Chains A and B, each alone.
Chain A
Amino acid sequence: MIIFDFLAQYWPRLLSGTGVTIAQFFLAAVLGIAISLAMGLMKLSQNRILRGAAITYIEIFRGTSLLVQLYWIFFVLPLFGVSIDKFTAGYVAVGMNIGAYGAELVRGGILSVPRGQWEAALAINMSPARRMWRIILPQALVNMLPPWGNLMIELLKGTALVSLISVADLMFQAKQINGSTFLSAQVFGTALVIYYILARFLVTPFMRWLERAMARKLGKV
């Protein structure tokens, strides 16, 4: 079967899979960014308990495999009475995993802001929270955006794992189609191209745009 006939026949399922992949990506990104921010700030906290919690979180989620984390959340948590539907389990696992990596980026970005900025903010008597939110974080964000671009690509690729708990994403649809038609070259070739297009023509340009916009806001260009 040539590729055009293949696409003509299976495009609705591939498209719906792509939609689910994008949704998983988007939700995991939002969750991952929130966790990164919280864990990154906690790791810099003066409070030993908060710092300890952040270090533990980061160690666990960076030190173990995303697939195992996904299975834990979907198969093991229900044994403790916490059951989540597979769609939620998918993006939660991916988001929590990415959050551990993002936390280090947030921490590094904050530490890269010169000390004089903290001091100037204190000299106008800003509260610690305002100093962080209004003065430090906007500058930290600019410094950490380039590595965030890479992390977002990793996140997109990571979402393919949710197919293993039967979330009907692009990878899942591809495997289903393959199982019934054995058109492996066509189906996985198409999936490959779609993932590439999402990464190369959506995620990367968006991150570049964000970098430029933020740099402009800081008067760096």
Chain B
Amino acid sequence: MLDHTGFPLEITGETTPMVSFRKVRKSYGALTVLKNLDLDIAEGEMVSIIGPSGSGKTTVLRMLMTLEQIDDGVIYVDGQPLTHMPKQGRLVRANERHLRNRRADIGMCFQHFNLFPHMTALENCMEGPVQVLGLSKAEARDRSEELLELVGMISKKDQRPSRLSGGQQQRVAIARALAMRPKVMLFDEVTSALDPEVIGEVTNVIRKLVSEHNLTMLMVTHQMGFARDISDRVCFFYGGKIEEQGPPAELFGNPQRERTQQFLSAVREAV
């Protein structure tokens, strides 16, 4: 069933994408940051977003995390509308309650970690499970310790963020997001604020997630080599649109569009 604007109330079928942006537009005042974005991400797929600064990469993730309202179009997660909700046979803008229900499927890691400074690494991870999911302290602790183990931070579980390096903080932030058991994980330049020698700590954790877990992931990154290694698909953003996308071997090996070629050669020269 379609609502009057032509958007389905839900997406059903065998190949329901885990995430679907349909004709999404986002503006800040007079500045249109994303124009008519269409992007489907399959369950378990790892999609990287690359592109020049200001091309709208972060905005894509923030809209999906519901940190930004969209101006047009609909975003679906797991077949259900996220930014909208069905009401009397048509889609209306989601209210806070609907957002809280749907947002549970999504987790996000930020460039600057944003750990809670008044809590230890373990408490950071337990906060969501206890306060939001209603787990008991013991259950939340078990779950959090398991994840801190996964990211290699179990030995620092009682430290506050101010005592941790950037790479360590980012690993805790990944554990904190995973503790909510999201279906979709978003990574916004999670290594950009790190010293070069600790970038590997964080990328290795993401590698492990890709190989051992069936998470759907959307990652904005400036590390072309990393994106090439682990992505199923790479999207090159330019001026608020997907200029070109495809499997990493093709996009990096044989880019079709001139802007992609220019961007990639500029990045290579910088290295």
Contact partners of B132 in chain A: CB under 8 A: 124-127, 130
B131-A122 in contact (CB<8A): no
Contact partners of B104 in chain A: CB under 8 A: 125
Which of A116, A120, A128, A139 meets B118, CB within 8 Å?
A139
Which of B118, B161, B163, B176 meets A124, CB within 8 Å?
B176
- CB of B128 within 8 A of chain A? yes
Contact partners of A120 in chain B: CB under 8 A: 110, 114-116, 173
- CB of B65 within 8 A of chain A? yes
A126-B128 in contact (CB<8A): yes
B93 to chain A, nearest CB (A): 16
A207-221 CB mask vs B (1 if < 8 Å, else 0) is 000000000011110
> Are A125 and B110 also in contact (CB < 8 A) when A119-B67, A139-B118 are?
no
- CB of B127 within 8 A of chain A? yes
Most buried by A among B100, B104, B112, B131: B131
B112-A116 in contact (CB<8A): yes
Which parts of A116-148 form the interface with B (CB within 8 Å)? 116-117, 119-128, 130, 134-135, 138-139
Query: Complex Cα distance A16/B128, Å?
Result: 51
Query: Complex Cα distance A139/B110, Å?
Result: 19
B96-A219 in contact (CB<8A): no
A1-24 CB mask vs B (1 if < 8 Å, else 0) is 000000000000000000000000
User: What range describes how many residues of A lie at the interface?
Assistant: 20 to 34
A30 to chain B, nearest CB (A): 24
Contact partners of A117 in chain B: CB under 8 A: 114, 116
Contact partners of A114 in chain B: CB under 8 A: 114
Which of A116, A127, A139 meets B100, CB within 8 Å?
A127
A84-120 CB mask vs B (1 if < 8 Å, else 0) is 0000000000000000000000000000001011011
Which of A122, A130, A135 meets B65, CB within 8 Å?
A122
> Are A128 and B96 also in contact (CB < 8 A) when A122-B67, A123-B108 are?
yes
Q: Which residues of B contact A (CB under 8 A)?
A: 65-67, 96, 100, 103-104, 106-108, 110, 112, 114-118, 127-128, 131-132, 160-163, 173, 176-177, 179-180
Q: Which residues of A contact B (CB under 8 A)?
A: 114, 116-117, 119-128, 130, 134-135, 138-139, 217-220
